[in-house]
Amino acid sequence: MKRLMAAGLLAFGGLMTTGVGVSNADEILVEGNYVTEAGCLADGPHVEVDHPGTWTHFSCVQHQDGLWYLYLSN
Protein backbone atom coordinates (compact mmCIF):
# COMPACT_ATOMS: atom_id res chain seq x y z
CA MET A 1 0.00 0.00 0.00
CA LYS A 2 2.84 2.41 0.85
CA ARG A 3 4.51 1.73 -2.50
CA LEU A 4 1.29 2.46 -4.35
CA MET A 5 0.84 5.71 -2.44
CA ALA A 6 4.45 6.72 -3.08
CA ALA A 7 4.10 5.97 -6.79
CA GLY A 8 0.91 8.03 -6.94
CA LEU A 9 2.55 11.00 -5.23
CA LEU A 10 5.57 10.77 -7.51
CA ALA A 11 3.34 10.71 -10.62
CA PHE A 12 1.31 13.65 -9.33
CA GLY A 13 4.48 15.63 -8.64
CA GLY A 14 5.71 14.94 -12.17
CA LEU A 15 2.46 16.17 -13.67
CA MET A 16 2.54 19.33 -11.59
CA THR A 17 6.11 20.06 -12.68
CA THR A 18 5.21 19.55 -16.33
CA GLY A 19 2.30 21.98 -16.04
CA VAL A 20 4.53 24.66 -14.57
CA GLY A 21 7.04 24.29 -17.41
CA VAL A 22 4.37 24.57 -20.07
CA SER A 23 2.63 27.52 -18.45
CA ASN A 24 5.85 29.54 -18.42
CA ALA A 25 6.62 29.03 -22.13
CA ASP A 26 6.77 32.22 -24.20
CA GLU A 27 4.74 32.42 -27.39
CA ILE A 28 4.26 35.21 -29.92
CA LEU A 29 1.96 35.59 -32.89
CA VAL A 30 3.77 36.54 -36.08
CA GLU A 31 2.25 39.51 -37.92
CA GLY A 32 0.24 38.48 -40.98
CA ASN A 33 -1.77 35.43 -41.91
CA TYR A 34 -1.94 32.66 -44.50
CA VAL A 35 -4.71 31.40 -46.73
CA THR A 36 -3.40 27.82 -46.59
CA GLU A 37 -1.76 25.71 -43.93
CA ALA A 38 0.92 24.75 -46.47
CA GLY A 39 1.96 28.39 -46.85
CA CYS A 40 2.18 28.83 -43.10
CA LEU A 41 4.23 25.65 -42.69
CA ALA A 42 6.57 26.70 -45.49
CA ASP A 43 7.35 30.05 -43.82
CA GLY A 44 7.52 28.73 -40.24
CA PRO A 45 11.14 27.58 -40.15
CA HIS A 46 12.41 30.74 -41.89
CA VAL A 47 10.41 33.56 -40.33
CA GLU A 48 12.32 36.42 -38.71
CA VAL A 49 10.80 38.68 -36.08
CA ASP A 50 11.90 41.92 -34.47
CA HIS A 51 11.22 40.71 -30.95
CA PRO A 52 13.69 39.73 -28.22
CA GLY A 53 13.89 36.04 -27.48
CA THR A 54 14.99 32.75 -28.93
CA TRP A 55 12.24 30.97 -30.82
CA THR A 56 12.84 27.25 -31.23
CA HIS A 57 9.39 26.01 -32.28
CA PHE A 58 6.59 27.18 -34.52
CA SER A 59 2.99 26.15 -35.05
CA CYS A 60 0.27 27.06 -37.51
CA VAL A 61 -3.22 27.53 -36.08
CA GLN A 62 -6.41 28.08 -38.05
CA HIS A 63 -8.63 30.77 -36.54
CA GLN A 64 -12.39 31.16 -36.90
CA ASP A 65 -11.90 33.48 -39.87
CA GLY A 66 -10.55 30.49 -41.84
CA LEU A 67 -7.02 31.92 -42.10
CA TRP A 68 -3.86 30.34 -40.71
CA TYR A 69 -1.69 32.18 -38.17
CA LEU A 70 1.94 31.47 -37.33
CA TYR A 71 2.99 31.27 -33.68
CA LEU A 72 6.58 31.07 -32.43
CA SER A 73 7.48 29.59 -29.06
CA ASN A 74 10.46 28.40 -27.10
H-only helix segments in 1-74:
2-23, 37-43
CA distance linking residue 65 with residue 60, whole number of Å: 14
CA distance linking residue 49 with residue 28, whole number of Å: 10
- Give this prediction's pTM: 0.62
From residue 1, give the alpha-carbon distance in Å to each of 5, 13, 53: 6, 18, 47
Domain coordinates in residue numbering, the chain: 2-73
For 22-52, the pLDDT digits (tens) are: 445 588 999 889 999 999 999 999 888 888 8
